[in-house]
Amino acid sequence: MPEKVYVRDFNKANDSLTIQSAIDFAKNNNVKTVMLDDRDYVITSPIVIKQGVKLLFGYGTQFIVEGNFRVIELQKNASIEGAYIAINDSNFDSEVIYLDGKYKYYNTWHRTQVKDINIVNWFGSHKGIGLSLYSGGAGHEITFIDFENIKVAGLKTGLKLVVNRPSSGLAWINANRFINLSLDDCVDMITLDSHSTIPNEISGNQFRNIQVQPSSQTNKILKVSGQFNEFDGMVWETHVIPHDNPVIELTDQSMDTTLYIPSVPDNRILDRGHRNKINL
């Protein structure tokens, strides 16, 4: 068996099917890395990175997304690195990179990673979600994953974490690290939506070295639920946001949040939660 699988060795009806065939071959033959060439790939249908497989972009690789669909779903112990993903369709209104807690990403020895990612909406339509994490069933979880060096520009939501109350049992998105996150010209930059604690919680996540550039399209920088989440970084030019309402909201379901973004004026921060620590 080869040490790596090269997408160029597969030839299907379109680029999406060709890439998926390479990933499936790697998964079925216990090869860990799938390599893309330094060229544009036109993506017209969803791609699933299977468990145990890493999709590695070249420095000149670009995904050009045409259509409206979830672009990339990442299973447990799968990774993506070096991606440049451009939305080239004004109708696009879906997730670009999506993780679902049904795969039960857990334990520190698993290798799921999202690293060195650029996501940009070329159309200026301000639709879609750059990075989306979701849990909503019994035992569904996303934990101990590093998301590193991610840039999102021109989407509806840059980063969205949602945990819905399961019909039974517990669900959560806990103990993840978001490092060196840059968000530009999004309507809502970061949203965390859950209860403050179990059965559906988003807790103990760390957001380090955030850089945020609002635009005239921006509505909110940060909306937070859950407990013990930590944020530090910079927000530039809040005066370009076309309203005077709070741009950071710690909801009534937030608890023990640590927020250090001193560039946002106090009157643009709304704290409706419990024991939150703001710019201390």
Q: What pLDDT score was predicted for residue 162?
A: 98
Say which residues have a Cβ less than 8 Å from residue 171's Cβ, sequence separation at least 6. Answer: 101, 135, 136, 137, 138, 139, 140, 141, 163, 164, 165, 199, 200
Quick one: pLDDT at residue 109?
Answer: 85
In the chain the first and final C-alpha atoms are separated, in Å, by: 55
CB 203 within 8 A of CB 172: yes
Cβ burial, residue 36 (10 Å; 0-12/13-18/19+): buried
Residue 90: predicted pLDDT? 96
Answer left, alpha or beta for residue 254, where phi above 0 means left and psi between -120 and 50 means alpha: beta
Q: What is the pLDDT along the chain (280 residues), one digit of tens a residue?
A: 678 999 999 999 999 999 999 999 999 999 999 999 999 999 999 999 999 999 999 999 999 999 999 999 999 999 999 999 999 999 999 999 999 999 999 988 889 999 999 999 998 899 999 999 999 999 999 999 999 999 999 999 999 999 999 999 999 999 999 999 999 999 999 999 999 999 999 999 999 999 999 999 999 999 999 999 999 999 999 999 999 999 999 999 999 999 999 999 999 999 999 999 999 7
Token pair of 40, please?
């544009």
Look at residue 225 in the predicted model and tell me its pLDDT: 98
Per DSSP, the residues of 181-248 read EEEES-SEEEEEESBSSTTEEEES-EEEEEEEE--TT--EEEEEEEES-EEEEEE--GGGSSS-S-SE
Pairwise CA distance, residues 36 & 82, whole Å: 10
Give the pTM: 0.97
DSSP H or E segment with residue 139 = none
